[in-house]
Amino acid sequence: MTMFTGFNLKEKIKELKRRGKDVPREIFDLGVAFWLINVDEEKYTGEYLAPKYLHKEFNNSEAILEELKKYAENKLKEFNLGRLFYKLEMPLLEVLADMELNGISADKNKLANLDKKIGKILKGLTEKIYNEAGKVFNINSPKQVADILFNKLKIIAPVGGRLKKTSTGAVSTNIETLATLKNEHKIVGFILEYRELFKLQSTYVKSFQELISKDRRIHTTYLQTGTVTGRLSSENPNMQNVPAGTELSNEFKRCFEAKKGYEFVSFDYSQVELRVLASLSGDPKMIDAFKKGVDIHKLTASQVNNVPLEKVTPEMRNLAKTLNFGVVYGMGFIAFAKSSGLSVAEAKKFIAEYFSDFKEIKKWQERVKAEARKNCFVSNLNGRRRWLLNIVSSYQFLASQAEREAINMPVQSLAADILKISMVKVAEYLKEKGWYGGSVRPLLTIHDELLFEVKSDIIKKVKADIADIMENAFKLSVPLKVPVKAGKNWGEMKSFV
């Protein structure tokens, strides 16, 4: 049991595990340490950090690692990040290593069949599109699509609408724009369908097939230093943006199957960011709603429309949902108008109404912004910190952007911490029970969700315990709720009670 100091220790841990060796108890990952100190570094490698902080070339010698460690230790202490580093991020390394080693089983044949199936539909759509266009062109080129739609077919925006431009001044052909043109020409609908299916095929069905390992499983890589908020990211493949909702994307997810004798069990924090916001702001109405288990979007709808809960229509609820999410991101009335389809004046009114109903949220946001302006950084309850130098910029846009980032950071990052705490605690519990890696294997983490592979005969017991650990992972002034789903494959997860 030696001490581990260095970069990319997750890989070293994986190597030890592959050889059946024990993982050192004391771990000091320098990349993660420097990331906690400043989430905005370009890279978290020795080659990058040593010249910048020690004014020395990096050579991976014991001496220079120790010197970097000394520097990091001091800063962690100065910024009060010790607990986060030693008690959360370092223990998390092993869980991430295990998730990556475990991987998730993928059925190559099913993927190949789905590939063909989508290919056929795409072929048909391609012909229809060429037919409507009157010529052959590259449907995957936004430039060529724009040329066909707006020059050749001379499609124009319907009354009251305007065509959106891209940052370089070209007319945009994104979904949002195309959706407004759906009734102007038959080709538009075909292109929308084509886009959706091509995306599914190229980014997911095709790419994932190439990433299946010899053990017939897909092993993602988690980046512990990949975000500015404390979230994890995932690459090769990114398991955190797998599509859901349409029939074909569900068919894609059905290609991932639990090991024989096991089932997938997923634990998903329900509305964790809004609960965090309620707790941080102390807003009485929102806290009350979560305590009573009221549908939060419905409550918001009833509040901003000044109608009783029973009178809330699905449309009102939808609008309120956009509003709730938007508030977490610091959305302004123009953006709200755009995403809701309301007029700017109406949007303004709704947002004003929202903040007069949830007064403490507004006050909390103002406090966060003031603090950010004072310190040029924001931090969350655990001390996780993000520098926001632009908050004092004289460029209005940059300052506003920094304000939105400031408002979002304490919420998104605490939600991220809560999930990380859960991962570590659940792993501890599973080790105590002797199930870790055997009867219960952690597979995926998707921001507010954990997916395990669990031996069928212990699902019931494990489910209750894990959900319990997660709901009590962090004390907020509102309860945390963790609904559980289970299924033999990833596309057919049914709620489990």
For residue 82, state whether it binds DNA (rule: CB under 7 A). no
Binding mask 382-421 for DNA (x = CB under 7 A): -------------xxxx-xx--xx--x---x---------
Size of the site for DNA (CB under 7 A): 70
How big is the chain, counted in residues?
497
Give least dist CB 408 to DNA, A.
Answer: 4
The one among 132, 196, 295, 353 contacting DNA by CB under 7 A: 196
SS3 assignment, position 295: coil
Instruction: State the SS3 of 194-244.
Output: HHHHHHHHHHHHHHHHHCECCCCEECCEEECCCCCCCCCEEECCCCCCCCC
- DSSP lists the bridge partners of residue 262 as 455
Give yes or no for residue 184 binding DNA (CB under 7 A): no
In this chain, which of 136, 244, 309, 352 binds DNA, going by CB under 7 A? 244
Q: Applying CB under 7 A, does 240 fall inside the site for DNA? A: yes
Mention every residue, 6+ apart, whose C-beta is less than 8 A from residue 300.
320, 321, 323, 324, 354, 357
Interface with DNA (CB under 7 A), residue from 73, 107, 449, 471: 449
Both tokens of residue 134?
A: 């009157």
Q: Does 365 bind DNA (CB under 7 A)?
A: no
CA-closest candidate to residue 360, choices 409, 405, 327, 393? 327
Q: Does 126 bind DNA (CB under 7 A)?
A: no
Among 131, 207, 318, 495, binds DNA (CB under 7 A): 207
Alpha helices in 358-395 (DSSP H): 359-375
34 touches 72 (CB < 8 A)? yes
Q: Is 189 in the site for DNA (CB under 7 A)?
A: no
At closest approach, how far in Å is the CB of 446 from DNA? 5
Q: Which is nearer to DNA, 242 or 459 (CB)?
A: 242
The reply to whether 343 sits near DNA by the rule CB under 7 A is no
The Cα 185–Cα 85 span in angstroms is: 56
Rounded to whole angstroms, how far apart are CA atoms 300 and 57? 56
Nearer to DNA, 198 or 429 (CB): 198
The first and second tokens of residue 367, run together, are 């406090």
Instruction: Take residue 285 and report the two structure tokens written for it.
Output: 């109405």
Among residues 80 and 202, whose Cβ is nearest to DNA? Answer: 202
Residue 276 is inside which H or E element, if any? helix 272-281
Closer by beta carbon to DNA, 168 or else 183? 168
Region binding DNA by CB under 7 A among candidate stretches 95-103, 229-237, 365-373, 465-473: 229-237
The binder of DNA chosen from 59, 60, 74, 174 (CB under 7 A): 174
Q: Does 38 bind DNA (CB under 7 A)?
A: no
* Residues with Cβ within 8 Å of residue 397, at least 6 apart in sequence: none
3-state secondary structure of 151: helix
Least separation, in Å, of the C-beta of 145 and DNA? 8
* Binder of DNA out of 16, 101, 112, 228 (CB under 7 A): 228
Give the pair of three-digit tokens for residue 117.
């199936």
> In whole angstroms, how close is the CB of 438 to DNA at the nearest point?
28
Pairing verdict, β 217-218 and 104-105: antiparallel
Nearest to 254 by CA among 55, 69, 490, 444: 490
Q: Cα separation of 324 and 271, whole Å?
A: 10
Q: Of the two residues 299 and 419, which places its CB atom closer to DNA in the complex? A: 419
**446 counts as binding DNA under rule CB under 7 A:** yes
Per CB under 7 A, residues contacting DNA are 138, 140-144, 166-170, 172-176, 178, 195-196, 199-200, 202-203, 206-207, 223, 226-229, 231, 233-238, 240-245, 249, 322, 325-326, 329-332, 334-336, 338-339, 395-398, 400-401, 404-405, 408, 412, 446-449
